[in-house]
């Protein structure tokens, strides 16, 4: 699919943090393809944002660095080295000399300004230009507390990404994951949260008990995850701002593999009893469980379709671990994976068009995607051990973890990665320690 940025623009809208400064209808020439194999990244010039005072200049430079990093990591854009710029960026506020930017082969140009207001807030303006069309594609003014400058940078990145690709952005998001350290048999595991670019890292649990598979609520600042507290695996719910946590469900056995429904009102999970693992949903308001599967096989790793009408899961009812889709009442079960190997951890894309999964075949693990009817299967990443994909909220990027072999003393390395749907742009998300089980948040409110 080729996404064109040939769109008539925009009405002035009051944004989350500020207001639009206005924009004009244009026919831009810039096309950025997101899913079509390897693409030559689009050269883009991102000027340091201007500022009057030294502090404003510093913030302005940091903001353009964050934007640059975000766009570069998509693999769709190639920020041009500042040293190649011909026009002095301080003169951009009085007019863009498009010829100067064409000379260094910039297709798009971002300029901006940072100003500290009297009340301590920060006001950031940015403008995005089509260098060859010689038009402004987007321009906005954002205002927020000074401490929110990173979020403002991510939001500006989202505006730019959306304008040039036609897709929703995913930079103003966070990733919750399990931070790991230590040898295999004494691995300390803590829930941790960070911005999607790895900044603002924070631990959420103390590491006394093992924790796994956190998943974000689509509607609140809550995370559901698996805890081994008291040496019994149980699904928990954690409210991030308050730190309040509770165990979901009051029953004797194990529960695991939790995931929120798209409306945030239920959690679907597995309960294991007498050698049989089945899938249940729990209504978070009534705390009532309803059973979805009824089969002596292992049924686990459930994930809702974005419209809430279906659940994809993995089961070994056919003899080996494969993917199945069922209606939300448990009926109409259909197998969708048929290639060689075992299939696991299916996750429905927020767009509804694809299901991501882990596949074990031969001596390797893969991260792949297929359509909900099982067709169009392709692999995006592979390794000795890759597992547990999670979707960016726009359904264009996957995050997952990679783990290496461990040595005889249990030394092992695990890291969080992202890859886009082209499969050509795999990147490590740098974390302070090792990391597994990433889960992407929705776009922040």
Partner 1 sequence: MRFKLLTMFAAALFLSACASNSDNNADGSNDGSSATTGTTDQSSSVSSSSIQGPQPGTLEHLVVNVGDRVFFGYDQSDLQAEGQKTTEALAVWMNSYPAVTLTVEGHADERGTREYNLALGERRANSVRDYLVALGVNPNRVQVVSYGKERPTVLGSTEEAWAQNRRAVFVVN
Per CB under 8 A, residues contacting partner 1 are 183-185, 210, 212-213, 228, 231-233, 254, 256-257, 270, 272, 274-277, 298, 300-301, 314, 316, 320-321, 342, 344-345, 358, 360, 384-385, 387-388, 405-410, 437
- Write out the two tokens for 432: 């302070």
Smallest gap, in angstroms, from Cβ of residue 48 to partner 1?
44
The residue among 146, 182, 201 whose CA lies nearest residue 406 is 182
Smallest gap, in angstroms, from Cβ of residue 367 to partner 1?
11
Smallest gap, in angstroms, from Cβ of residue 215 to partner 1?
12
Nearer to partner 1, 146 or 385 (CB): 385
Nearer to partner 1, 21 or 297 (CB): 297
Smallest gap, in angstroms, from Cβ of residue 32 to partner 1?
34
Provide, for the chain, the percentages of residues in helix, strand and coil under a 3-state DSSP scheme, each rounded to the nearest 5. Answer: 15, 40, 45
Smallest gap, in angstroms, from Cβ of residue 179 to partner 1?
15
Smallest gap, in angstroms, from Cβ of residue 152 to partner 1?
37
Nearer to partner 1, 144 or 297 (CB): 297
- Write out the two tokens for 94: 């009085």
Smallest gap, in angstroms, from Cβ of residue 275 to partner 1?
3
Nearer to partner 1, 123 or 276 (CB): 276
Give the number of other CB atoms < 10 A from CB of residue 130: 22
Nearer to partner 1, 191 or 257 (CB): 257
Nearer to partner 1, 239 or 316 (CB): 316
Smallest gap, in angstroms, from Cβ of residue 4 to partner 1?
39
Smallest gap, in angstroms, from Cβ of residue 384 to partner 1?
8
Nearer to partner 1, 128 or 279 (CB): 279
Residue 80 — φ and ψ, nearest 5°?
-85, 140
Q: Which long-range contacts (CB under 8 A, 24 or more apart) does 306-311 make?
A: 306/262, 306/348, 306/349, 306/350, 306/351, 306/352, 307/262, 307/352, 308/261, 308/262, 308/263, 310/348, 310/372, 311/268, 311/279
Nearer to partner 1, 388 or 435 (CB): 388
Distance CA 126, CA 163 (A): 13
CA distances for 378 relative to 187, 323, 356, 422, angstroms: 33, 15, 10, 10
- Helices and strands counted in the chain (H then E): 3, 30
Q: What angle do CA 10, 197, 58 make, to 5 degrees?
A: 75
Q: Are 159 and 384 in contact (CB under 8 A)?
A: no
Nearer to partner 1, 120 or 275 (CB): 275
Burial 153-176 (b: 16+ CB within 10 A, else e): bbbbbbbbbebbbbbbbbbbbbbb
Q: Are 441 and 173 in contact (CB under 8 A)?
A: yes
Strands 77-79 and 42-46: parallel
């Amino acid at each position: 699919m080729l996404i064109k940025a040939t769109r008539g623009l925009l009405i002035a809208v009051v944004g989350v943090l500020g207001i639009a400064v206005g924009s004009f209808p244009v026919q831009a020439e810039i096309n950025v393809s997101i899913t079509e194999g390897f693409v030559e990244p689009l050269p883009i010039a991102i000027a340091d944002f201007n500022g009057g005072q030294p502090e404003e200049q510093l913030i302005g430079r940091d903001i353009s660095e964050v934007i640059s990093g975000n766009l570069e990591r998509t693999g769709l854009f190639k920020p041009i080295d500042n040293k190649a710029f011909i026009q002095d960026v301080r003169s951009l506020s009085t007019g863009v000399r498009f010829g100067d930017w064409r000379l260094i082969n910039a297709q798009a140009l971002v300029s901006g300004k940072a100003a500290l207001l009297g009340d301590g807030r920060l006001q950031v303006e940015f403008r995005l230009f089509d260098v060859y069309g010689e038009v402004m594609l987007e321009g906005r003014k954002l205002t927020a507390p000074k401490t929110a400058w990173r979020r403002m940078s991510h939001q500006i990145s989202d505006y730019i990404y959306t304008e040039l690709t036609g897709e929703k952005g995913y930079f103003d998001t966070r990733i919750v994951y399990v931070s790991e350290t230590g040898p295999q048999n004494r691995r300390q595991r803590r829930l941790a949260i960070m911005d999607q670019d790895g900044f603002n890292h924070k631990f959420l649990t103390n590491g006394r008990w093992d924790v796994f598979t956190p998943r974000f609520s689509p509607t609140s600042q809550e995370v559901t995850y698996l805890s081994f507290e008291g040496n019994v695996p149980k699904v928990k719910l954690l409210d991030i701002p308050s730190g309040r946590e509770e165990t979901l469900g009051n029953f004797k056995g194990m529960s695991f593999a939790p995931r929120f429904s798209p409306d945030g009102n239920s959690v679907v999970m597995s309960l294991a009893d007498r050698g049989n693992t089945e899938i249940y949903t729990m209504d978070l308001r009534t705390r009532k469980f309803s059973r979805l599967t009824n089969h002596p096989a292992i049924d686990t790793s459930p994930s809702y379709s974005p419209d809430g009408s279906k659940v994809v899961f993995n089961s070994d009812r056919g003899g080996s671990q494969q993917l199945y889709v069922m209606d939300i009442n448990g009926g109409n079960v259909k197998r969708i994976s048929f290639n060689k190997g075992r299939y696991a951890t299916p996750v429905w894309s927020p767009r509804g068009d694809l299901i991501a999964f882990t596949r074990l075949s031969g001596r390797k693990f893969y991260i792949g995607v297929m359509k909900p009817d099982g067709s169009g299967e392709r692999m995006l990443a592979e390794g000795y051990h890759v597992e547990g994909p999670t979707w960016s909220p726009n359904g264009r990027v996957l995050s997952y973890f990679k783990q290496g072999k461990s040595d005889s003393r249990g030394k092992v390395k695990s890291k969080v990665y992202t890859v886009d749907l082209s499969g050509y742009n795999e990147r490590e998300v740098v974390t302070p320690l090792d990391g597994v089980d990433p889960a992407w948040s929705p776009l922040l409110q």
